[in-house]
Structure 1
């Protein structure tokens, strides 16, 4: 066993996405062939990664997945400076939302079983088993959610003020559900529900404002909030998760043909904060608190797919299509 130095170079985000999983807090590098063709080997974990420019430590060798295809995996030290200087500064889990904080968020409960595939969804009337997903309150009579959450169901329940002690449960039949006419895979995987009776807005029930037509959600520095239910200590809580934009090239490399960069966005969540497990919920800009997108889907170990709201604005605002004019998918 001989201690050696290995010089390595940083590889691009796209190549990294093609090679490794979607963890965003890792450096991935190539380097000279040592240790039988590997850069790092068993026992190297915890060692230093040092800049050859200034001799300072810039990372820590990690053994999270060993070495893949002869490439090293290293944690950047800048991600942990706060922890190093103050161990008590570890980022806490997001807090549970109060009813007022979640006033524009609703639940969709689908009785029976259904497939989360947009063209094959179905449900039966088994009241003892209900699939839950998120939804967004647009107005007193309009609810937005994913098409794959409700498509094919003979009826669903819209649950409003779900975090309070007295939530409202409204039965919605198939004729009140309109699927977006451009539905194709995960693009435009949205449905609008029209309620027969208007909701009664209050301190804990209200609508969310929409962004304008010229809004562009492609700034890597912009932070948005997404919402989802997370189980912590055996209790399911609705929480907020703050995330940043992820380059579309990485999304395409990770999701392949399932991701349409012209119509969709994707983000990778901070796994240490937990992840939302329900879809159809809002993506809200932290700059102006307006609705900018909707959570669509997530594959295991893949970025989360989001539908931008801007391409939906005309469809959301237009009068509801009558039942006999609805397109069947």
Structure 2
């Protein structure tokens, strides 16, 4: 079976096209030859901004109209637009759309075979994008990716590290997502003076059992209630309201320190476990994190290219003594450890998220804090097992937090 895409010439040895045109293909045929009519074209600079929607662009491609041909190079002048509601499979922060405009494509701006073709600015004659498909049915808006997003990759493919794949349902089954409504963290009232009833912060959490959730203490302390979203990666997500009396803060936690920054939430009704929702095994009480070569996987939300999504990150953990100089007196090296995070991964919002050992596939830690440029702090799980497994204390039994 043969599939035809468009491509454009970057140099005498390099061409650019869409990944979906060549992915999994055992081989491809490239039809090109430099001549008076065949050559390369300039790309816009990395700081080029498509912000004038009156700017006209021209899309080129070998698309076959109405699936009947003929196979000839066509072009279409159009204005681009970026405020179209995206389909679920497309990322609005990375995809720009262009309208059908005044087309030479018989009303179709994009046809089968146009994928990978260049989108050229009529202002400077340089390539500003690469065609990727059509939004909607035949005759709908064409879509292109701004070329500036890929200039680093184009100029040096090895300099760009791959984005980790999204979690599969089984990998994410032990993750819950917590949304904390207004009146958040009364102890930090001065710091969050702008908070109101509509103010919300989101954290990760871990499913311990059908009725228990583990998360960071500072994500729930002082909140009159929180929402726990279970099965966050599924369309069948369940949102549960949890009141303050269902939340237990570790008795050794203090706002001035990072250690024991954990809270246990007891749900009013049991979760329904399925292929996407479930708990994960915890390490034993005598488990020691003393092998610096051991790899662990951290799960949680991270922001990359302006988009937050659940990601995973493989790393090695560091002894607490190596982290203390970075954080000072608030860091308790006797109870805490840390790990480094590659900046190319994005900004971590993994707080409350699980750390899984790649050696035994069990929960070994919970991420509790991160400050830019410093290692990410996590609390080992083994020292918490007695507290995690003991029955929930009644409200009048709890010691006041220092």
Would you call these one fold, judging by a TM-score over 0.5? yes
Q: Using the TM superposition, give the Cα deviation of residue 120 of structure 1 relative to its aligned residue in structure 2, in angstroms.
A: 8.8
Aligned residues: CA RMSD = 2.7
Q: Label 1:299 to 1:178 Cα distance change in 2 as closer, same or farther (>3 A).
A: same
Is contact 2:305–2:346 with CA below 8 Å preserved after alignment? no
Aligned residue for 1:172, secondary structure, equals strand
Q: Label 1:123 to 1:161 Cα distance change in 2 as closer, same or farther (>3 A).
A: farther
Q: Of residues 189, 193, 209 in structure 1, which corresponds to 2:281?
A: 209
Structure 1 residue 130 and structure 2 residue 214: aligned? Answer: no
Q: Label 1:320 to 1:285 Cα distance change in 2 as closer, same or farther (>3 A).
A: same
Q: Of residues 322, 327, 332 in structure 2, which corresponds to 1:260?
A: 332
Q: Of residues 163, 170, 195 in structure 1, which corresponds to 2:233?
A: 163
- Structure 1 residues 296-318: Cα deviation after superposition (integer angstroms, max 9, x where no partner): 10122111110010110000111
Q: Which residue does 2:296 correspond to in 1?
A: 224
Distance across 2 between alignment mates of 1:94 and 1:327? 42
Q: Using the TM superposition, give the Cα deviation of residue 249 of structure 1 relative to its aligned residue in structure 2, in angstroms.
A: 3.0
Q: Which structure 2 segments of 5+ residues have no match?
A: 1-155
Q: Using the TM superposition, give the Cα deviation of residue 99 of structure 1 relative to its aligned residue in structure 2, in angstroms.
A: 3.0
Q: Label 1:230 to 1:208 Cα distance change in 2 as closer, same or farther (>3 A).
A: same
Aligned residue for 1:313, secondary structure, equals helix
Aligned residue for 2:236, secondary structure, equals coil
Is contact 1:118–1:147 with CA below 8 Å preserved after alignment? no
Aligned residue for 2:259, secondary structure, equals coil
Q: Which residue does 1:100 correspond to in 2?
A: 170
Q: Label 1:206 to 1:125 Cα distance change in 2 as closer, same or farther (>3 A).
A: farther
Q: Using the TM superposition, give the Cα deviation of residue 148 of structure 1 relative to its aligned residue in structure 2, in angstroms.
A: 0.3
Q: Which structure 1 segments of 5+ residues have no match?
A: 1-85
Q: Which residue does 1:25 correspond to in 2?
A: none
Q: Which residue does 1:153 correspond to in 2?
A: 223
Q: Label 1:271 to 1:124 Cα distance change in 2 as closer, same or farther (>3 A).
A: closer
Structure with greater contact order relative to length (CA < 8 Å, sep ≥ 6): 1
Distance across 2 between alignment mates of 1:238 and 1:327? 35
Q: Using the TM superposition, give the Cα deviation of residue 108 of structure 1 relative to its aligned residue in structure 2, in angstroms.
A: 0.9
- Structure 1 residues 27-72: Cα deviation after superposition (integer angstroms, max 9, x where no partner): xxxxxxxxxxxxxxxxxxxxxxxxxxxxxxxxxxxxxxxxxxxxxx
Q: Which residue does 2:261 correspond to in 1?
A: 189
Q: Could you state the TM-score of these two structures normalised by the residue count of structure 1? A: 0.69
Q: Using the TM superposition, give the Cα deviation of residue 328 of structure 1 relative to its aligned residue in structure 2, in angstroms.
A: 2.4
Q: Label 1:275 to 1:196 Cα distance change in 2 as closer, same or farther (>3 A).
A: same
1:53-92 paired onto structure 2 within 5 Å? 91-92=161-162
Q: Using the TM superposition, give the Cα deviation of residue 142 of structure 1 relative to its aligned residue in structure 2, in angstroms.
A: 0.4
Q: Which residue does 1:289 correspond to in 2?
A: 361
- Structure 1 residues 268-313: Cα deviation after superposition (integer angstroms, max 9, x where no partner): 1122223422301111101111010100101221111100101100
Q: Which residue does 1:319 correspond to in 2?
A: 391
Q: Which residue does 1:175 correspond to in 2?
A: 245
Distance across 2 between alignment mates of 1:87 and 1:125? 44
Structure 1 residue 306 and structure 2 residue 378: aligned? Answer: yes
Q: Using the TM superposition, give the Cα deviation of residue 122 of structure 1 relative to its aligned residue in structure 2, in angstroms.
A: 8.8
Aligned residue for 2:168, secondary structure, equals coil
Q: Could you state the TM-score of these two structures normalised by the residue count of structure 2? A: 0.57
